[in-house]
């Protein structure tokens, strides 16, 4: 008995999944990528297709330059959830490093649709667009004559043999730190590019490449021989191969002609702030924006307004030409100022701040700033009771809106505005439109909110049976989502609706006026008990 139990213990895994996952995370933090990969391999053997481990292992392969395996893990993570924002960002990064800037841009855009508030997707889009522009710009001016082409081919034939040993060793070893061992380096090695051009391409790493080439040459000639000569040769060879591989990517990202053009277009007068001086300033501003955001979350809006006004005054003194995202920063400050003033009931100041952000977006063609500003201006109008103005601005946005979540939100808000204006037909129309999209996306939370809106609209339309159906559907959704406040509020409305039906059946022939008053009271009560009042919002990541 004891013997069999000991055999079972030997067969059992030595460590559980969580141990290997934590070990991999620790190695990744210390940048020990090979050890991290080994730990994640063990973890994935115990729990196949774990999204966390797949993405972390993909990050390790990306850091080592093994882009094929990195891409394979990122794709596996996207199989379970094709809209998971971390996997979308990582795949965008991998494709960008492969030089596939167009597809990288697609994945950065997809990630931004899921999490528009994250800066990393905006930066990914910006650098992909710049790389694409650099790759396309200037090709018309490049002309290769027949003599130049023949000379270059001859030069390639003459020097190709000197690289054969390096290429063969790479194929045999297949070191994971240098990428995939089975891929040939078919692009032009840097030692075949003219010296002045390779200096521009490599920048500060040109001297490192030259040093490794010289070191490999000396070791090959065996000017001296030590115990570690072979190891030094392998390290130098791998270093050169890695730099050559990266040179392909750098050339795709920003070709030599684009760099030379950028150098010619430098201003004759030096800017007031150098790049090193600007970065700390921008970092300080971002830290202060985070501080204002914390104050708003803590409902300290008076203090948030004060900080935002001080920051706005400071940023306005900057030279906009020296900061690439100057107008986005300025619009962000205006937006925060408007949000806090709205919470304080300062509608005029809030509307002025959001209008200023909207104007900045229009003047500088910032579509994201325009979109958010229109949302916020509509909120201010609705909060102050100017529903006609809110409807006007939100319907204008709805005509151009393509994002499905934004369309649902706009339909819901427009429906509530029309409900307040006693126009239940329009309210019901927008509710139905928003519900169709929410059902197609399987978004239960928005289905809950919109069903309540439809129920309220049906009450105003005197369609009590349809109203009860909508409220019952909303109640079932609230139970599934464990939204207890909404569940309780909707149940009260349903109970009162049923109670009112019984009263109307009893007194229908005797007291019509009281029945009408009872129904109006129920409509008012259903508005007050709306899940919207319990601040349920779609925050799914």
My answer on whether 196 and 127 are in the same domain is no
My answer on whether 23 and 102 are in the same domain is yes
| Residue 1 CA from chain centroid, whole number | 57
Output the six-digit token pair for 256.
Answer: 């030599």
Cα dihedral value 494, 495, 496, 499, nearest 10 = 120
My answer on whether 112 and 174 are in the same domain is no
pLDDT at 336: 92
Measure Cα distances from 468 to 378, 483, 524 in Å. 30, 19, 15
Output the six-digit token pair for 473.
Answer: 């559907």
Q: How many domains does the chain have?
A: 3
Alpha-carbon distance 491 to 471, whole Å? 8
**Longest C-alpha distance within the chain, in Å?**
116
Structure confidence at residue 42 as a pLDDT band (50, 70, 90): very high
Q: Tell me how long the chain is.
A: 541
Neighbouring residues of 471: CB distance < 8 A, sequence distance ≥ 6: 451, 452, 455, 490, 493, 494, 497, 526
Asked if residue 355 belongs to a domain, the reply is no
Q: Can you tell me the mean pLDDT for 353-358? A: 92
Place of tokens 């890695």: 242
For residue 132, give the CATH number of its domain: 1.25.40.10
What single string gives the DSSP state of each residue in 121-152? HHHHHHHHHHHHHHHHTTGGG----HHHHHHH
My answer on whether 226 and 97 are in the same domain is no
pLDDT at 499: 74
Containing structural domain, residue 76: 12-137
My answer on whether 200 and 124 are in the same domain is no
Asked if residue 366 belongs to a domain, the reply is no
Per residue in 163-180, pLDDT (tens digit) is 444 444 444 444 444 444
pLDDT at 333: 92
Residue at which a domain ends, from 249, 264, 279: 264
Per residue in 289-343, pLDDT (tens digit) is 888 988 999 899 999 999 999 999 888 888 777 777 888 889 999 999 999 999 9
My answer on whether 511 and 424 are in the same domain is yes
pTM of the predicted protein model: 0.47
My answer on whether 49 and 119 are in the same domain is yes
- The answer to whether the CB of 401 falls within 8 A of the CB of 393 is no
Residue at which a domain ends, from 87, 122, 137: 137
Asked if residue 320 belongs to a domain, the reply is no
My answer on whether 409 and 538 are in the same domain is yes
Asked if residue 272 belongs to a domain, the reply is no
Output the six-digit token pair for 295.
Answer: 């104050």
My answer on whether 169 and 75 are in the same domain is no
pLDDT at 464: 87
In this predicted structure, the answer to whether residue 443 has a pLDDT above a threshold of 50 is yes
Alpha-carbon distance 464 to 496, whole Å? 12
Instruction: For the chain, give the percent of residues with pLDDT over 70.
Output: 67
My answer on whether 423 and 541 are in the same domain is yes
Q: What is the mean pLDDT of the chain?
A: 75
pLDDT at 354: 93
pLDDT at 58: 94
For residue 494, give the CATH number of its domain: 1.25.40
- Count of C-beta atoms within a 10 Å radius of residue 351: 21
My answer on whether 19 and 129 are in the same domain is yes
Alpha-carbon distance 425 to 420, whole Å? 12
Range name among 140-154, 344-358, 445-459 with the lowest pLDDT average: 140-154
My answer on whether 415 and 539 are in the same domain is yes
Q: Can you tell me the mean pLDDT for 79-104? A: 88
In this predicted structure, the answer to whether residue 37 has a pLDDT above a threshold of 70 is yes
Q: Can you tell me the mean pLDDT for 363-367? A: 87
Q: Can you tell me the mean pLDDT for 269-291? A: 63
């Amino acid at each position: 008995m004891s013997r069999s139990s000991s055999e079972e213990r030997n067969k059992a895994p030595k460590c559980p999944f969580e141990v290997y996952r934590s070990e991999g995370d620790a190695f990744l933090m210390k940048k020990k990528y090979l050890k991290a990969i080994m730990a994640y391999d063990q973890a994935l053997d115990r729990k196949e297709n774990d999204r966390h481990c797949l993405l972390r292992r993909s990050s390790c392969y990306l850091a080592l330059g093994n882009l094929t395996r990195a891409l394979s893990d990122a794709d596996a993570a996207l199989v379970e959830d094709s809209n998971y924002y971390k996997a979308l960002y990582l795949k965008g990064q991998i494709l960008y490093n492969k030089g596939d800037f167009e597809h990288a841009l697609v994945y950065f855009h997809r990630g931004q649709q899921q999490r528009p508030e994250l800066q990393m997707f905006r930066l990914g889009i910006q650098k992909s667009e710049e790389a694409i522009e650099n790759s396309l710009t200037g090709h018309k001016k490049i002309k290769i004559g027949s003599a130049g082409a023949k000379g270059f081919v001859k030069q390639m034939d003459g020097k190709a043999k000197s690289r054969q040993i390096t290429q063969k060793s790479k194929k045999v070893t297949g070191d994971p730190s240098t990428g995939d061992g089975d891929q040939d380096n078919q692009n032009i090695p840097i030692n075949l590019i003219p010296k002045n051009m390779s200096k521009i391409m490599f920048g500060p790493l040109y001297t490192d490449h030259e040093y490794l080439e010289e070191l490999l040459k000396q070791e090959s000639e065996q000017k001296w021989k030590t115990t570690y000569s072979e190891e030094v040769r392998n390290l130098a060879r791998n270093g050169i191969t890695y730099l050559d591989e990266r040179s392909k990517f750098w050339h795709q990202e920003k070709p030599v002609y684009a760099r030379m053009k950028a150098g010619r277009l430098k201003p004759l007068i030096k800017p007031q702030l150098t790049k090193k001086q600007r970065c700390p300033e921008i970092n300080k501003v971002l830290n202060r924006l985070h501080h204002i955001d914390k104050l708003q979350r803590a409902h300290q809006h008076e203090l948030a307004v004060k900080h935002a006004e001080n920051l706005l005054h400071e940023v306005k003194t900057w030279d906009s030409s020296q900061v690439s995202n100057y107008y986005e920063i300025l619009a962000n400050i205006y937006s925060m100022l408007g949000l806090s003033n709205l919470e304080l009931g300062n509608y005029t100041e809030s509307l002025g701040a959001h209008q200023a952000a909207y104007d900045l977006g229009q003047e500088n063609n910032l579509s994201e700033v325009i979109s958010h500003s229109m949302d916020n201006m509509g909120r201010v109008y609705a909060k102050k009771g100017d529903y006609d103005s809110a409807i006007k601005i939100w319907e204008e946005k709805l005509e151009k809106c393509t994002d499905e979540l934004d369309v649902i939100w706009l339909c819901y808000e427009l429906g509530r505005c029309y409900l307040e204006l006693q126009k239940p037909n329009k309210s019901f129309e927008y509710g139905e439109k928003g519900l169709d999209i929410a059902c197609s996306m399987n978004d239960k939370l928005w289905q809950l909110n919109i069903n309540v809106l439809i129920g309220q609209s049906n009450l105003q339309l005197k369609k009590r049976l349809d109203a009860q159906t909508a409220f019952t559907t909303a109640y079932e959704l609230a139970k599934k989502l464990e939204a207890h406040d909404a569940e309780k509020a909707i149940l009260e409305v349903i109970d009162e609706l049923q109670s009112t039906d019984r009263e109307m059946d009893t007194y229908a022939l005797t007291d019509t006026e009281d029945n009408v008053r009872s129904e109006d009271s129920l409509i008012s009560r259903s508005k007050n008990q709306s899940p919207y009042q319990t601040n349920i919002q779609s925050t799914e990541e």
